[in-house]
Amino acid sequence: MSMSHAHLSRSPVDVAGRRTLGSLLAIVMVAVIGGTLQASAVTSSAYPYHALAPLNSQRAEIQAGEGQVTLPVSLQSQLSSLSTSMYYKNCTVMSGSHVCQYGDVHAATTLVLMGDSLAMQWVPALNSLGKKFHFKVVGFMLGGCNIASALVVSLAYKKLEPQCTAFRRSAIAAVNQLRPQPSLVILGEARYRKWPDGRSVTNAQWGSAIASTLHQIRSNQKAVIYGDPEWTMSPTTCVELHPSKIASCSLPLSKIFTPQTDGFSSIVSAGGYPLGVAGVLCDVSCPVITSDDFTHADQWHLTAAYSRESAPALGAIIGCGYYNVLSDSIAKKLLGVPSQAKRAACSHYLSSRGSPY
């Protein structure tokens, strides 16, 4: 199936009222970050980027964006269409829907992507990686619906949404029926915050809900991507308000929370390996532009173009998991030839981004 760039509308998809604080892309990518957790500040580190060339290149692009004072003329024409520039497509196995396939759709090796729109935003990147490294990407995604095993209030619909439970159960069952089993499973979602009775979902409760889903997925290779920035307003609005001070639209890296929480211990115990994506999106800060592109379509979602451009860096971060628990063929392909320099770079990167590994 070819990759469609369907656009995300403002309502009623899951952008409403969101505080992401780490897109839970669990390879099985999931981030349980945010809310009231006490997180230590994450700072930019001078680890040996040269050992991980894609991250080195990505960092240069990000630093170019951090250095911009005014919006380049080349980007001004993108403002009017920025809000619809993200990737968005529901892919389910419920009645009337279908599974989406990306990457090398004929490959025997499979990576699964599950979650809400914060999983969808990485489709362009994973599609590119799958084609280059010859693995298939199978998507189970529904905007506004959590993949964590919990009955919570949908961020999109502001209520308990019955279809979300049906989506989660059918997606998990479909993943477990895949043959051969997927080499890597990736969950991605926002941090849902309210129980139906109005009580707040604690980090420990959310971690347990994610862990429950991880336990139900039979693949041995699961991980967690965390560290997606979240702005208080869309890049378009901020740039229009501060045309001569666009650096003020950047999000300080200290705002990216780490997974050092009671909730994350449950996820790690359930086999969810945490991978921080701050290196794809941030250096000292998380700018809204790079040298030649906007990074985000709104305050939560990457543009499809930037997701696609970030593929090599995302691949390097996933590949770093090879030195820990992701001893699967996909992680090794994305890492390239293992070396001591890469091991040192990966270790430094993960520790600087708050990984418990």
Instruction: Give per-residue pLDDT as tens, 122-146.
Output: 999 999 999 999 999 999 998 888 8
Give the amino acid at 187: L
Mean pLDDT of 314-332: 79
Decide if pLDDT at 325 tops 80: no
Share of the chain above pLDDT 70, in %: 76
Give the amino acid at 243: P
Looking at residue 251, its pLDDT comes to 85
Beta bridge partners of 180: none
> How many Å apart are CA 31 and CA 300, to the nearest integer?
14
> How many Å apart are CA 131 and CA 84, to the nearest integer?
25
Give the amino acid at 60: A
Element (H, E) at 140: strand 136-141
Count CB atoms within 10 A of the CB of residue 269.
12
pTM above 0.85, yes or no: no
Distances (CA, A) of 248 to 35, 291, 333: 24, 16, 38
Decide if pLDDT at 19 tops 50: no
